[in-house]
Structure 1
Amino acid sequence: MKHALFPPRPSRAGLSPRRALLALPLIALAAGPLAAQAPAGGQGQQTEVGIVTIAETDVPYTQTLPGRAAAFESASIRPRVGGVIEEIPYNAGRPVKQGEVLFRIEKDTYEAALTAAEAARASAEVAVETAQSQVDRYSRIEGVGVTQSDVESARATLLQAQADLKSAEASLQTAQLDLDRTDIRSPIEGWAEVPEVSVGALVTANQTDALTTVTRSNPIYVDAQESSVRMMRNRAMRDSGKLTFGDALEVKLTLENGQVYERDGEMVSPSAQVSSTTGTVDLRFQFDNPDYLILPGQFLRLEVTLGTTRAMLVPQRATTRKSDGTLTAFVAQDGTAKQVTLTTAGTYESNWIATDGVAPGDALIVDGLRSLKAGAAVTTVPVTINADGVVEDATKAAGE
């Protein structure tokens, strides 16, 4: 017999309404993690991606070459006569003109030598006049107190006097040249370096040590080296029709600080032989340099455009470089993302020039790449990439 104070215990088959209400939060907490494990979209979940259609186009075929600036002209100034430096009239580090006096050597010795040479020439001239008079007189009275032998002897004396006159004139010319060379002049226009000697220094003719150096840097040369293998590859591309050479090379220069030089250059001359040590061909380019931004010895970078080639442009933002150097991208095919490996031949603006890995008409994925994996289901939206590299909806961009 059950006592009325102890109500019957509920069966395990069910709970009282009050206990059932208290159990609901516990059931919800227990069900929460299980519910989170189930994906909202299931196996058919798709990722929305932005695509651009790959197309072939004519793009400039440009190659980058390392270069180094070289002076257009450079002259080491040396004395051609000996003596003591009397004056250094030029200012170091400033431009000098062709023919401007850089150094002066004492002239006394050379002026005296010139005076002596002038006297020797005058004496030789008198000797010629005397000999000529004797020949003329003997020729008139030949056979009358003057024999033929006397005439021939007089003519020989005249010839000797004329030879002595020429020798005296040559000595006079040499003396004049030596005197003129006491003024050491610049053979070119340019910038003169600091003098290596001072006033009072004794110098000798044609000495080994230069007194200073004059360098002309406007225009200026830029020397570069190109691989002979790449040159042969370019010729093969031209012969196969893949590369169309332009009428002239377009040459751009990048300075050491990354600044693009505003003036275009031109090729002066390629070397006619390949280096046996480096396998490269020397190339020389010329640039105007009125502001002297380029100085001899600077390391520079040349962008040489040979012509145009048919190629496919792949935006760099759509690609990924793997640790082994492989360049990859994604294309949308049949509703899935397919990863492709690209082969490139340089860059153009913000694009890779692709030669393999994609084909015209491929839908290249350029947006929505975060966490995208090969084989993922995708839905595509046509987009465009503006000049700033920002992805825009193609439909909206066309409407604008």
Structure 2
Amino acid sequence: MYRIRPVVCLSFLALWFLSLPALSQDAQMPPPKVGVVTLQPQSVPRIVTLPGRAIAQSEAAIRPRVTGLVTEILYEPGAALDVGAPMFRIDPTTYEANLKSAQAQVTSAHAALTQARTSFGRTERLLGSGTTQAQVDESRAALEQAEAALQSAEAALTLAQSELDWTTVTSPINGLASVAAVSIGDLVTAGQADPLATVTQLDPIDVDMYEPSARLLSLRDDISEGRLQLKETLQATLTLETGETYAATGELVAPGFTVSTSTGAVDTRFRFDNPRRLILPGMFLRGQIDLGTTEAFLVTQNAATRSKTGQLTAWVIRDGKATQVDLVDDGTYQNHWIVTDGLEPGELLAVDNLAALSDGATVTTVPVTLDENGVVREQPAETAAGPDAGPDAATGADPAPADAAPAE
């Protein structure tokens, strides 16, 4: 009796399996299912996001207008001051004396004027009876000199009174006062370079936003060619450094007219109410300016990728096959790219199961919906697996419920 060797049996089985018809890969793996949405152009708010920096609307450096010793500091640092609130007092002794001297000069000038006026009247009446015309002219000149001397004395009195008033240094604006830079007993001089303190107005507050000049030219082209419908009044919102959205809306104060040689940006100023003083001068912010509306496609950011060169791409389904297209975007709006070129109305945009896509691959489209954040949240079971399907053809499992979230 002959015994069949195991090696011969294994070889025979291998040859038998190789002789069977090869099963196609397509028969083993059905086309991947891809969630899609149908795109249509729509009016999209054109909102640009710009870096910004807060600037105090008014900031006054308090300097003395007279020379003397500081005798009192009349305010509390950090206190809110109104216009005219006293801040410092300078020794008034010299200026009080100057005022009294100026008052005496005015009194003397009044007496001299009275005498000159009386003399002129008497000389004028005696003209032709013991008084010549030359004497009358001389008397008139003396009267005019007396009037001029009175005016000079009154001007000196006004200056002396002003200098005495200036010994009390007051705030010229409403705002918050800084810590005093001088102490009682310090000598200050009129018009010195170093301020005694500063007063800063925080409500309202201005914010400078910096727009690249290249983008500004692009916006002007869009306006001239009708792609952007500009608003009559430009308004802006702010995002604070903490990520919090600032409650107030800013109004345009002045557009920029020059380009910075260091940054290549145009400075545009907006003004915001700041009653809680959340925004401080020098604070860096992020501003959003609502320019108007433009006709474009909204592509959820989850469905598009940007390459290292900055090119934005997305997957669309054409004739049942996946195609990667290059997009031209013009900013963002509510977690979506604003796409102005690269798509056609009615096009199917792939938004789910993107990892299974390759250029030219055959896919099965499944209509899905997106929530307000651009994330797939609803995928009806009868649409995903077909109205008559039982277990899922790809996984062999029951189809997911309608409200189930898609797999990552």
TM-score range, shorter chain: 0.7 to 0.9
Residue in 1 that maps onto 2:27: 42
Residue in 2 that maps onto 1:357: 342
Residue in 2 that maps onto 1:313: 298
Q: Answer yes or no: is the 8 Å Cα contact 2:231–2:292 preserved in 1.
A: yes
Show the 5 A alignment for 1:334-373: 334-373=319-358
Indicate whether 1:153 and 2:143 are aligned: no
Cα distance in 1 for partners of 2:272, 2:175 equals 16
Residue type at the aligned position of 1:386: D
Show the 5 A alignment for 1:262-277: 262-277=247-262
How far off is 1:284 after superposition?
1.0
Residue type at the aligned position of 1:261: Y
Sequence identity (%): 46
How far off is 1:11 after superposition?
5.9
Residue type at the aligned position of 1:100: A
Alignment: residue pair count: 380
Structure 1 pair 160/366, CA: closer, same or farther in 2 (3 Å)?
A: same
Residue in 1 that maps onto 2:392: none
Residue in 1 that maps onto 2:61: 76
Residue type at the aligned position of 1:57: Q
Q: Which moved more, 1:268-277 or 1:158-167?
A: 268-277
Cα distance in 2 for partners of 1:293, 1:247 equals 29
Task: Give the secondary-structure state (helix, strand or coil) at the position aligned to 2:220.
Answer: helix
Indicate whether 1:142 and 2:116 are aligned: no
Residue type at the aligned position of 1:392: E
How far off is 1:42 after superposition?
3.2
Residue in 1 that maps onto 2:286: 301
Residue in 1 that maps onto 2:390: none
Cα distance in 1 for partners of 2:304, 2:15 equals 44
Q: Which moved more, 1:220-229 or 1:160-169?
A: 220-229
Indicate whether 1:254 and 2:244 are aligned: no
Q: Answer yes or no: is the 8 Å Cα contact 2:89–2:169 preserved in 1.
A: yes
Task: Give the secondary-structure state (helix, strand or coil) at the position aligned to 2:127.
Answer: coil
Structure 1 pair 319/278, CA: closer, same or farther in 2 (3 Å)?
A: closer
Q: Answer yes or no: is the 8 Å Cα contact 1:44–1:377 preserved in 2.
A: no
Residue in 2 that maps onto 1:20: none
How far off is 1:112 after superposition?
0.9
Cα distance in 2 for partners of 1:301, 1:102 equals 36
Indicate whether 1:120 and 2:123 are aligned: no
Residue type at the aligned position of 2:81: V
Q: Which moved more, 1:144-153 or 1:164-173?
A: 144-153
Indicate whether 1:333 and 2:280 are aligned: no
How far off is 1:41 after superposition?
4.7
Residue in 2 that maps onto 1:53: 38
Residue in 1 that maps onto 2:406: none
Residue type at the aligned position of 1:331: V
Q: Answer yes or no: is the 8 Å Cα contact 1:65–1:301 preserved in 2.
A: yes
Runs of 5+ unmatched residues, structure 1:
1-8, 16-22
Residue in 1 that maps onto 2:176: 191
Task: Give the secondary-structure state (helix, strand or coil) at the position aligned to 1:370.
Answer: helix
Q: Give the structure-2-normalised TM-score.
A: 0.85
Q: Answer yes or no: is the 8 Å Cα contact 1:367–1:391 preserved in 2.
A: no
Structure 1 pair 29/316, CA: closer, same or farther in 2 (3 Å)?
A: farther
Residue in 1 that maps onto 2:188: 203
Cα distance in 2 for partners of 1:286, 1:31 equals 85
Residue in 1 that maps onto 2:273: 288
Cα distance in 2 for partners of 1:271, 1:342 equals 31
Structural RMSD (CA): 2.9
Cα distance in 2 for partners of 1:165, 1:323 equals 83
Indicate whether 1:109 and 2:72 are aligned: no
Q: Answer yes or no: is the 8 Å Cα contact 1:382–1:395 preserved in 2.
A: no
Deviations 1:152-188 (A, max 9, x none): 2222221111111111111111100110000111110
Q: Answer yes or no: is the 8 Å Cα contact 1:190–1:217 preserved in 2.
A: yes
Indicate whether 1:91 and 2:76 are aligned: yes
Q: Give the structure-1-normalised TM-score.
A: 0.87
Structure 1 pair 133/28, CA: closer, same or farther in 2 (3 Å)?
A: farther
Residue in 2 that maps onto 1:223: 208
Structure 1 pair 381/123, CA: closer, same or farther in 2 (3 Å)?
A: same
Runs of 5+ unmatched residues, structure 2:
384-401, 404-408
Task: Give the secondary-structure state (helix, strand or coil) at the position aligned to 1:145.
Answer: coil
Q: Which moved more, 1:373-382 or 1:303-312?
A: 373-382
How far off is 1:326 after superposition?
3.2
Indicate whether 1:392 and 2:392 are aligned: no
Deviations 1:233-283 (A, max 9, x none): 212112222111122223111111111111111111113333455443221
Indicate whether 1:374 and 2:334 are aligned: no
Structure 1 pair 30/304, CA: closer, same or farther in 2 (3 Å)?
A: farther
Q: Which moved more, 1:182-191 or 1:241-250?
A: 241-250
Structure 1 pair 383/161, CA: closer, same or farther in 2 (3 Å)?
A: same
Q: Answer yes or no: is the 8 Å Cα contact 2:113–2:150 preserved in 1.
A: yes
Cα distance in 2 for partners of 1:291, 1:39 equals 71
Q: Answer yes or no: is the 8 Å Cα contact 1:238–1:244 preserved in 2.
A: yes
Residue in 1 that maps onto 2:395: none
Structure 1 pair 394/311, CA: closer, same or farther in 2 (3 Å)?
A: farther
Cα distance in 1 for partners of 2:334, 2:14 equals 56
How far off is 1:339 after superposition?
1.8
